[in-house]
Amino acid sequence: MEHNNSNIMRSSRQQQIALITGSSSGIGFETSLHLARNGIYTYATMRNPSKSKEILDNAGKDNLPLKIQRLDITDTESISEAVDKIISEKNRIDIVVNNAGYSLLGPLEQLQLDEIKEEFETNFFGTIKLIQNVLPIMRRQGYGRIINISSLAGRIGLPLSSAYVSSKFALEGLVESLRYEVQPYGIHVSLIEPGVIKTNFINNMKLGKNVITSNNNNDDSNNSPYVEIIQKRISAFKPRFEKGSSAGEVADVVLEAVTSDNPKARYLVGEDALKMMEKRKNTTDEEFAKLVMNSVLGRDSSS
Ligand SMILES: NC(=O)c1ccc[n+]([C@@H]2O[C@H](COP(=O)([O-])OP(=O)(O)OC[C@H]3O[C@@H](n4cnc5c(N)ncnc54)[C@H](OP(=O)(O)O)[C@@H]3O)[C@@H](O)[C@H]2O)c1
C-alpha cells in the first residue's frame, strides 16, 4: 500500500502544517488561532487579506506560528497558488479545514438558479477543488486530516434555507463517500456539524434578490404567500444567534479531530445541535417537522 511505502510519513516530532479557509472571521478566525496556539503552523487563508489585522495582532501577541495567505474558494487559481506556496515553503500540508461559507436565504420559488449556483460554488465546489489539490500531496505524505465545517443544516432541512441546506447535505454525502477512498493512504476526513454559533454568519447571510419580504398592495394575486414565514424567520434569527455557542467551541472540536488517532466521521457541536439530533432519532418525520418549525420561528420548542 502506498501509505506503508511512503518515506515521508509524518514523524511525531515534526511540526504540523495546516491550511484553513475563511479565517477572516468567526469559526475560521478562532480555529486558526487555536491550532497555532497548539503548535500547529497555520496558514490562515482569506479571500481579502486586508481583513487580517485582528488575527495578526492576536497571533503577534503570543508569537504564534500563523501566516496569512490569500485564498478565494471560488477562484481555482487562488486555491492552487495557495497550495503551491505552502508546499514551496513547508513541503507538506497535514491539515486542511474547509470552513469558508455563507447562507443564501429565501423560499426556493423566489431564488434565482444563479444565486443557488453561487452558494454551491462557495460551500461545495470550492471545497472539492481544494480537496483535489491537496489529496495528491497527502497521499504522498501518507498522512492527512481534512476537516469540513458542515452544519446541523447538513443533517436536517430548514424552511427558507433550501439552498444552504442542500449545499451542506451535498458536502455530507461527499465526505461520507470520500472517507472510504482515502483512509487506506492515512488520510482521515471528518465533518463538523455546529448548531447556532455566534459569529458574523447572520450579517453575511444573503437574501435572494427576488425574495419578497413585505406585501404592499391590496391585490391578493400579486402578494407573496411567503411573506409571513420570512418575517418570522428573520426576526427569530437575532435572539437565536445571541444564545448561540461560541466559535471557540467549534475550534476545540476541530483540534480534537486533528489530534485524535481515530477521528470520527462526524462531530456535532453545541447543546442545540446535540438536542435536535437526539430528538430526530426518536420522532417521526411529522413530529420532527413541528419541532423544526417551532425552533426556527422562535416559538417555544415544547409547544
Ligand atoms: N454561525 C453558525 O451558526 C454556523 C452554524 C453551522 C455551520 N456554520 C458554518 O461555519 C462556516 C463559517 O461560518 P461562520 O459562522 O464563521 O461565519 P462568518 O463569520 O460569516 O465567516 C465566514 C467566513 O467565510 C469566508 N468566505 C465567504 N466566502 C468566501 C470565499 N469565496 N472565499 C474565501 N472565504 C470566504 C468569509 O470571508 P469574508 O470576511 O471575506 O466575507 C468569512 O471569513 C461556514 O461554512 C458556515 O456554513 C456556521
Residue 196's SS3 state is coil
Q: Kindly report, residue by residue over 61-101, the tens digit of the pLDDT.
A: 999 999 999 999 999 999 999 999 999 999 999 999 999 99
Q: How far apart are CA 275 and CA 215, in angstroms?
A: 36
Rg (CA), the chain: 20
What's the gap in Å between 171 CA and the centre of ligand 1? 15
pLDDT mean across residues, the chain: 94
Whole-model pTM?
Answer: 0.95
- Residue 173, φ and ψ in degrees, nearest 5: -65, -40
Read off the pLDDT of each residue in 124-139 and give the average, rounded to a whole number: 98
What's the gap in Å between 26 CA and the centre of ligand 1? 7
Helix (H) / strand (E) containing 50:
none
Sequence-separated (6 or more) residues with CB below 8 Å from residue 35: 18, 20, 42, 95, 97, 251, 254, 255, 258
Q: In a 10 Å sphere around its CB, with 0-12 CB exposed, 13-18 middle and 19+ buried, how is residue 280 labelled?
A: middle
Q: What pLDDT is stored for residue 7 in this prediction?
A: 37
What's the gap in Å between 283 CA and the centre of ligand 1? 31
Q: What pLDDT is stored for residue 150 in this prediction?
A: 99
End-to-end C-alpha distance for the chain, whole angstroms = 56
Q: Contact, 155 vs 280, CB < 8 A?
A: yes
Residue 62's SS3 state is coil
- Given a cut of 50, whether residue 301 has pLDDT beyond it is no
Q: Contact, 187 vs 138, CB < 8 A?
A: yes
Question: Looking at ligand 1, which atom is closest to the CA of residue 150?
Answer: 7
Q: Contact, 153 vs 165, CB < 8 A?
A: yes
Residue 53: how many other CB atoms lie within 10 Å: 10
Q: Kindly report, residue by residue over 152-196, the tens digit of the pLDDT.
A: 999 999 999 999 999 999 999 999 999 999 999 999 999 999 999
Q: Kindly report, residue by residue over 261-286, the tens digit of the pLDDT.
A: 999 999 999 999 999 999 999 999 99
List pocket residues of ligand 1, CB cut-off 6 Å.
Answer: 21-22, 24-28, 46-48, 51, 72-74, 99-102, 122, 149, 151, 194, 196-197, 199-201, 204, 244
Grid coordinates given for 235: 426576526
Give Cα separations from 123 to 42, 81, 86 (angstroms): 21, 20, 23
Side-chain half-sphere exposure of 180, counting CA atoms within 13 A:
4
Of 233, 131, 142, 230, residue with least CA distance to 183: 142
Residue 272's SS3 state is helix
Q: Which residues pair with 144 in a beta bridge?
A: 187
Tracing cell 455530507 back to the chain, one arrives at 172
Q: Which positions are catalytic? A: 164
Give Cα separations from 160 to 111, 176, 202, 222, 233 (angstroms): 10, 26, 14, 20, 8
